[in-house]
Amino acid sequence: MDGAPPRRKSTQADVTRTRTDASGAVVKSVRLTGELSVAFSSDTPRVRTIDGAYTETVLDGSQGTVTLSGIVRPSRDVCPWPTGGERGGGRH
């Protein structure tokens, strides 16, 4: 149907944030990469289900990962907090 809202959307990220000292030397750097997808229900109001994963890499090469799986978000008018799903991850 033309003009209908999307049933799914995805966002990819590859962002680096770097902090330097007065001499220009890098003192902190963090790179975030990953993808997030959102599926929209046909309910009124719409329910969103979020899945994805992000990896953080810091200057020393260590990494942390966060995985989102089946995070259910009702309309903000109904409830501003997730009502189901799992989040996992950690630094390694």
Which residue ranges make up each domain of the chain? 8-91
Please check the confidence at residue 15 and state whether its pLDDT lies above 80: yes
Side by side, the strands of the sheet bearing 84-91 are: 8-20, 26-40, 48-58, 63-73, 84-91
Look up residue 2 and give its amino acid.
D
Q: What is the pTM (predicted TM-score) of this model?
A: 0.68
Mean pLDDT of 15-20: 95
Strand ranges for 3-62 from DSSP E:
8-20, 26-40, 48-58
Closest to 53 (Cα-Cα) out of 17, 85, 89: 89
pLDDT band at 9 (very low <50, low <70, confident <90, very high): very high
**Residue 79 pLDDT exceeds 90:** no
pLDDT tens digit string along 28-72?
999 999 999 999 988 888 888 999 999 999 999 999 999 999 998
